[in-house]
Amino acid sequence: MKAIRERILPTDDQSFFVQHFKMPAFDMPRHFHPEYELTYIIQGEGIRYVGDHKTTFKAGDLVLLGPDLSHYWETDLQWVEDTGLFSESIVIQFKPQVCPQGGLKEFSAIQNMLRMADAGIHFPEGAQFLQAIHELLAANGFEKLMQLYKLLNKLSAVEERTLLSFSEESQMQLHQNHEVFSQILEEIFVNFNQQITLQSICEKMEMSPPAFCRFFKKRTKRTFSEYLNQIRIKHASTLLTETDEAISQIAYGCGYNSLSYFHEQFVRRKQMSPTEYRKRNWV
């Protein structure tokens, strides 16, 4: 599904957009916009799409999205039929200019979080922020802006959060201001389908393996092996749903030289076998 560009128009008396939605089912198609977006699901179940990431959502789901990152929530119509309930959310959208860019130390944690939001961030304990979100929704004028800052500050202190999209576009955007790491990402995305090793990439980057591993994990919160497998399984998932290539051919084409290891990594990340994934998601 091709994403459409959404135009967001705040009212004359505020610099950002906050709205409470309640409808039979979330019906906005895949879209993107230049604003950041924080979405909290009050009620509803279905599938959430962020960039190349796809997973289920339910009440309490809280996600922060960076500018121009495609997304949409697809309500499970069976859930609607079974419960008779409406889908309900609170959406906050704001331009990058809303948060000071001048290097204010008080905003450094928020700015770091916003940079990570280029890949999409999921907060597992979203329900604990519902009161702060309601306070923001109810506030007016300058107090509304202060409530936004307070909410973002609380979110920036959360250690348990998950990056969602591992597309090349989102990852390059996420690390665009770090030249060395951008070069590492380019090396990974160009060569992930080959026998890329830690030693080979260290030699190209002229870094020792211990130094590289520390540097890499600090930036991604993952080991090099975990990250590489994430990229390979993402690509394999696309091939499984969009082509009729044999699973063994897909595995070898994504850089795996062991079919059993490919199965192990796929099940670990998708909680199902490649065969089952293809059956459930065939386009």
pLDDT tens string 247-262: 999 999 999 999 999 9
Q: Which residues of the chain have pLDDT under 50?
A: none
Which of 81, 110, 93 lies closest to 40, judged by CA? 93
User: In whole angstroms, what is the distance from residue 126 CA to residue 67 CA?
Assistant: 21
Q: Determine if the pTM surpasses 0.85.
A: no
Provide the pLDDT for residue 27. 84
Provide the pLDDT for residue 181. 76
Domain limits, CATH 2.60.120.280, in the chain: 4-163
Bridge partner list, 94: 16, 36
CATH second-level architecture of 4-163?
Sandwich (2.60)
CATH code for 178-281?
1.10.10.60
The number of angstroms, rounded, from the C-alpha of 234 to the middle of its chain's C-alpha atoms is: 13
Provide the pLDDT for residue 243. 87
Domain limits, CATH 1.10.10.60, in the chain: 178-281
CB 192 within 8 A of CB 228: yes
Where does residue 8 rank: exposed (0-12), middle (13-18), buried (19+ CB within 10 A)? middle
Provide the pLDDT for residue 103. 66
CB 16 within 8 A of CB 92: yes
Where does residue 218 rank: exposed (0-12), middle (13-18), buried (19+ CB within 10 A)? exposed
Q: What number of other Cβ atoms are within 10 A of residue 278's Cβ? A: 18
